[in-house]
Amino acid sequence: MKRFSWIMGLILCVVCTVQAKDRVIERPPFLAWSSSNIEVDKIVMSDTVTTVYIKAFYRPKYWIKIASGSFLKDEKGALYPIRKGVGITLDKEFWMPESGEAEFQLLFPPIPANVTSLDFSEGDFDGAYKIWGIQLNEKDFRKSALPKGAVIHKINKKAELPVPEFAYGKATLKGQVTGYQKDMPSSGQLRLNDPIRWLNYAEEVTIKEDGSFQVQTDVITVTPATLVFPFAQIPCLLAPGKESTIIVNTAECSRQQSHLQKDNKPYGKKAYYGGYLADLQQELSDNSIPSNLVDNPSKIVKDVAGKDINGLKDYFLEKRLNTYKQIDEAPLSSAAKEILKANTDITTAIGLFMGKDIIMRAHVVSQKLNREQTKEYYTNTKIEFPVDYLDVLKDFTLNEPVDLYAPEFAYGAGIFSSRKDLMEEKLGTNQGILFQMGEAYKCYRSIEDFTPLTAEQKAVLEALPSPAYKQLLTVLNDKLLKKIELNKQKTGYKINEIGKVTNEELFSTIISKFRGHVLLVDFWATWCGPCRMANKAMIPMKEELKDEDILYLYITGETSPKGTWENMIPDIHGEHFRVTNDQWAYLMSTFKIGGVPTYFVIDAEGNTTFKQTGFPGTDTMKKQLMKALKK
């Protein structure tokens, strides 16, 4: 009898094993990620292995890599180290096909059935792929209650837009990141779309361990901004003396960014607003009508190929009318519609202003011209605006208080102010928001170029309708004056004189006194935003490598104003050279430098081991320097 029971028990075990089904989770939702290059398409969990099916999205003919130190971590902190890759070899370069899409699998140990979420990580090194909060039970995940404090605002279609007030003061933004984990990115930025500071200004934002954050910034009127984290970009409105609150719904932000899940049912709203104009902010955030008509340059270039300048004008005017129609038919408040129409007008005008460049770029792309053919085309082609080309601007909303609410007004104001005379002619005035912002912007650019405000500039600010303009720029000017004084005490940088040399001897003369050291040569300009951002980004790397035999050489030309250059370089430790326009042109031509920043790494024997236009990132830069050191 015992023998029979034992046999039956064994048979039942075998049957249960055969009948046991693998647990399959299709396209699981997740909270956040460090990069959108890879996504989880499916997870198959058995009692012997966990298989994660990956889909990769990256530039064709570029490579990605999965580290052998990758692991999964469950919500209790247990780790499941990677076993192997299928269709990809760990730690080896995986080259993307022409389609820019690829598939492979990653194998991990079996995971207990009671685990509800997983994190994927390649490790704690710069550039590591990470995905947080991969949900293994979407049904339960969707049942999650709204975040505490989240309010659903009903649309009041009759709501009118408040007239913006001017007053210098601080705007406050408070918020909460849902599902935040302490190993998720903790830093971000609040980027202001401020017509005075154009697109250059941002406040650093730090997320606390509980997911909360708070930031304040100086503004003089209603100011659109974007809260930017690696896992979310959230629009908002700021105003002096006002407080706004935002609850960031990471799961919905990730769904909207995802290639695989963007068509799935939403996980709520990507953000929930409170405080200053909360109902209007919610409407603008939820809006799906594309009122920025120039945010997809590649599509525009494709659409206008073969058109002349009048054809391009008709193209943008038709897009404007179609967008207006969508806005009119949408179930939005009067206030939201007014802002969206203003943004449409501003970006239509930007498209018309950029018409010549767009037409020429469309020709280069459609005809597949190479570099030499492109250079010849741009040299020999001239496109003129018809006399009445910009007459339509008089019918646009470009110089009204509502424009201050429009996110693209800052970009447009910067472009339009460069042709103040033309805008005065077409709009029939030199008064109003657009022209006030233009005057303040010119003063700010002076400060940005390390040139304190002159008495004449102060008089211009004094004459503007609101004292807020002068108050903001006076604060910025005072900060500049203090910085200039502090710069006089700084060390770690040196201005080098080249002396009289021929163009042919120029570069060898610059580097000759440093031969025997590894050199990082940086061709840059004070007006180049990417150059300045790269210089700042490399400060920690330079500190890390301070004991290595590396010298940093910075070369710029006369397009970098001397005063600006002298006041900027105290924060850029290294050897500095400022060459003439003729010398700069010779270097650009001889070394085939197409733009700035351009970097050369030169080893101790004087051999160039690396060259790249555009900042490659600190990881690549460090790797190339260590390679030149032969370490």
Question: In this predicted model, what pLDDT tens digit does every residue of 408-452 receive, in sequence order?
Answer: 999 999 999 889 999 999 999 999 999 999 999 999 999 988 899
Percentage of the chain exceeding pLDDT 70? 96
- Say if 3 falls within a structural domain: no
Q: Are residues 332 and 231 in the same domain?
A: no
Mean pLDDT (the chain) is 93
Q: Hey, CA dihedral for 423, 424, 427, 430, is it positive or negative? A: positive
Question: What is the average pLDDT across 372-376?
Answer: 91
Domain boundary among 441, 463, 483: 483
Backbone phi, psi, residue 480, to 5°: -65, -45
- Say if 116 falls within a structural domain: yes
Contact at 8 Å (CB) between 73 and 80?
Answer: yes
Q: Are residues 588 and 606 in the same domain?
A: yes
Angle between helices 455-463 and 467-487 (to 10 degrees): 160
- Say if 153 falls within a structural domain: no
- Say if 159 falls within a structural domain: no
Contact at 8 Å (CB) between 609 and 528?
Answer: no
Following DSSP, what letter does each residue of 186-244 receive, concatenated?
-EEEEEE-BTTTBT--EEEEE--TTSEEEEEEEESS-EEEEEEETTEEEEEEE-TT-EE
In the three-class reduction of DSSP (H, G, I as helix; E, B as strand; rest coil), residue 562 is classed as helix
- Say if 404 falls within a structural domain: yes
Domain boundary among 284, 304, 330: 284
Q: Are residues 310 and 389 in the same domain?
A: yes
- CATH of residue 585's domain is 3.40.30.10
Q: Which of 395, 380, 442 is nearest to 416 (CA)?
A: 442
Q: Are residues 516 and 597 in the same domain?
A: yes
Per-residue buried b or exposed e for 189-211, using 16+ beta carbons within 10 Å of the residue's own CB: bbbbbbbbbbeebbbebebeeeb
Cα separations in angstroms, 399 against 413, 518, 599: 9, 54, 43
Query: In the predicted model, is pLDDT for residue 4 greater than 80?
Result: no
What is the rounded CA–CA span in Å between residue 506 and residue 555?
A: 11
What is the rounded CA–CA span in Å between residue 333 and residue 442?
A: 35
Question: What is the average pLDDT across 86-102?
Answer: 95
In tens, the pLDDT along 203-212 reads 999 999 999 9
Q: Are residues 623 and 546 in the same domain?
A: yes
In tens, the pLDDT along 54-64 reads 999 999 989 99
In tens, the pLDDT along 272-291 reads 999 999 999 999 999 999 99
Cis bond before residue 540 (omega within 30° of 0):
no
**Residue 18: what pLDDT?**
40
Query: In the predicted model, is pLDDT for residue 224 greater than 90?
Result: yes
In tens, the pLDDT along 17-54 reads 444 579 999 999 999 999 889 999 999 999 999 999 99
Among left, alpha and beta (phi > 0; psi -120 to 50; other), residue 151 is beta
In tens, the pLDDT along 582-594 reads 999 999 999 999 8
508/10: higher pLDDT: 508
What is the number of domains present in the chain? 4
What residues make up the domain containing 256? Answer: 164-284
Single-letter amino acid, residue 30: F
pLDDT category of residue 407 using cuts at 50, 70 and 90: very high
> Under 8 Å CB-to-CB from 486, ≥6 apart: which residues?
none
What is the rounded CA–CA span in Å between residue 582 and residue 506?
A: 11
- Say if 38 falls within a structural domain: yes
Following DSSP, what letter does each residue of 284-321 receive, concatenated?
HHH--S---TTS-HHHHHHHHTT--HHHHHHHHHHHHH
Q: Are residues 250 and 325 in the same domain?
A: no
Question: Degrees (nearest 5) of the Cα angle 390, 392, 397?
Answer: 110
Side-chain-side CA neighbours of 479 within 13 Å: the count stands at 9
Side-chain-side CA neighbours of 114 within 13 Å: the count stands at 2
- Say if 146 falls within a structural domain: no
In tens, the pLDDT along 309-327 reads 999 999 999 999 999 999 9
Query: In the predicted model, is pLDDT for residue 14 greater than 70?
Result: no
Side-chain-side CA neighbours of 267 within 13 Å: the count stands at 28
Q: Are residues 548 and 587 in the same domain?
A: yes
What is the rounded CA–CA span in Å between residue 559 and residue 582?
A: 11
Give, as one character, the DSSP assignment of residue 454.
Answer: P
Q: Which of 260, 208, 217, 262 is nearest to 236 (CA)?
A: 217
Question: What is the average pLDDT across 523-545?
Answer: 93
Q: pTM for the full model?
A: 0.86
Domain boundary among 251, 284, 317: 284
Question: What is the average pLDDT across 546-575?
Answer: 94
In tens, the pLDDT along 181-209 reads 988 999 999 999 999 998 768 999 999 99
- Say if 590 falls within a structural domain: yes
Q: Are residues 271 and 310 in the same domain?
A: no
Q: Are residues 596 and 621 in the same domain?
A: yes
What is the rounded CA–CA span in Å between residue 454 and residue 450?
A: 12
Q: Are residues 278 and 318 in the same domain?
A: no
Q: Are residues 432 and 554 in the same domain?
A: no
**Residue 157: what pLDDT?**
87
Q: Which of 52, 38, 90 is nearest to 68 (CA)?
A: 90
Question: Degrees (nearest 5) of the Cα angle 141, 145, 149?
Answer: 135
Question: What is the average pLDDT across 379-394?
Answer: 94
**Residue 141: what pLDDT?**
87
Question: What is the average pLDDT across 287-297?
Answer: 95
Q: Are residues 498 and 584 in the same domain?
A: yes
- CATH of residue 99's domain is 2.60.40
